[in-house]
Amino acid sequence: MAKINFGGVIEDVVTREEFTLSKAREVLKDETIAIIGYGVQGPAQSQNMRDNGFKVIIGQSQEFKADWDKAVADGWVPGQTLFSIEEAAKKATIIQYLVSDAAQRAVWPILKPCLKEGDALYFSHGFSITYKEQTGVIPPANVDVILVAPKGSGMSVRRNFLAGSGINSSFAVFQDYTGRALDRTLALGIAIGSGYLFPTTFEKEVFSDLTGERGVLMGALAGIMDAQYNTLRSHGHTPSEAFNETVEELTQSLIRLVDEKGMDWMYPNCTATAQRGALDWRPRFAEAVLPVFQELYARVSDGRECKRVLESTGGTDYKSLLEKELKELRESEIWATGIQVRKLRPAHS
């Protein structure tokens, strides 16, 4: 592993240069990899591995017709590379368990009997193992239990791969039965196209992931946007002006500067007025939201957020209730305005 200085803290990471694609192929040359679930991460990870030359099959229930049809459209052939969950798991030596967290609990009684001695059970989220008392997902002792968690959506994992880059991933070994669990894990991380790999544990992965999704990545970001947009609107600014100042300038300009060289580089590339205001108000926002993040982390670590996920997503009316919430978000003024603003963006020449 390479030792990298991250802001004064030395961490071990695994790069493509030290664990090459050819090495990954050698480690996995006798393995058959089954992707269980063709929903969010399944399509990206399976296609990336197929493109990289690994032996991959899909396990997907035909009951979920949209996912089955998507797998067929992506080139997986029923009876050859596309099977039921049970059949794919029995054929494989590495089982990538990529159905949703709630579905993992439901599918586990079907999948567990298919695991053979020496198989590897792979996750891209620490949820089911960390909260095993609530999920009931307790692997047998005679298999490897490993994790590679891309730090991005399945769509981004695929897009970045096709662009020649990659999404960074964390990795962990929970159970090493064969003595090869670490090599299998790193090889799979390279196989799915990770930019680089950094070590974690199942518990740390799920704690950071749930905090991040509810916080900066999705929940906090959407909430802060709502607050600023509504403040501007309440003071007479038009929807277009409020949206451009809240969302468009962030996504089309500033965040790209942050992506390129960091927040400290973005600040000097804005006006002196903007820079001064940002430096003054940054600590006030940090102070205001810190208690919310502390409460959020506590709820994640003590299992309350797990309980909320399993109870809400496990209901028979979950999809209809979810669509109602998403419809409300979609039809809110800020995001209805966003549809029109995006249409007005100049077309690429």
Whether 243 and 182 share a structural domain: no
Domain membership flag for residue 348: no
Q: Which tens digit of pLDDT belongs to each residue from 175-206?
A: 999 999 999 999 999 999 998 999 999 999 99
The answer to whether 210 and 305 are in contact (CB under 8 A) is yes
Average pLDDT across the chain, whole number: 95
Instruction: Please indicate, yes or no, if residue 205 is contained in any of the structural domains.
Output: no
Residue 35 parent element (H or E): strand 33-36
**pLDDT of amino acid 349:** 42
- Is 120 found in the same domain as 11? yes
Is 276 a member of any domain?
Answer: yes
Determine, yes or no, domain membership for 208.
no
Number of domains in the chain: 2
222 and 195 part of one domain: no
Which one-letter amino acid corresponds to residue 52? N
User: Is residue 19 one of the residues assigned to a domain?
Assistant: yes
Set 125, 235, 237, 348: catalytic member: 125
My answer on whether 21 and 149 are in the same domain is: yes
Shared domain check, 20 and 168: yes
Residues 116 and 34 in one domain: yes
Whether residue 226 sits in one domain with residue 194: no
Q: Using the 8-state DSSP alphabet, how is residue 167 labeled?
A: -
Domain span including residue 324: 215-343
Asked whether residue 206 is assigned to any structural domain, the reply reads no
Which residue is it, tokens 């009997």? Answer: 113
A 10 A CB-CB count for 26 gives 12
Tokens of 162: 């096709």
Instruction: Band the pLDDT of 114: cuts 50, 70, 90.
Output: very high
11 and 102 both lie in a single domain:
yes
Q: Is 237 a catalytic residue?
A: no
Check whether residue 124 and residue 15 sit in a common domain.
Answer: yes
Look at residue 130 and tell me if it is in a domain.
yes
CATH number reported for the structural domain that contains residue 80 in this entry: 3.40.50.720
pLDDT tens digits, residue range 116-143?
999 999 999 999 999 999 999 999 999 9
Tell me the per-residue pLDDT of 220-259, one tens digit each, with 9 for 90 and over.
999 999 999 999 999 999 999 999 999 999 999 999 999 9
* Cα distance between residue 39 and residue 301, in whole Å: 27
Residues 6+ apart with CB under 8 A from 297: 207, 211
Q: Are residue 188 and residue 223 in the same domain, yes or no?
A: no
**Neighbouring residues of 86: CB distance < 8 A, sequence distance ≥ 6:** 59, 110, 111, 114
pLDDT tops 50 at residue 65:
yes
**41 and 185 housed in the same domain:** yes
Picking from 138, 165, 200, the residue at the C-terminal end of a domain is 200
pLDDT at 53 over 90: yes
Same domain, 112 and 29: yes
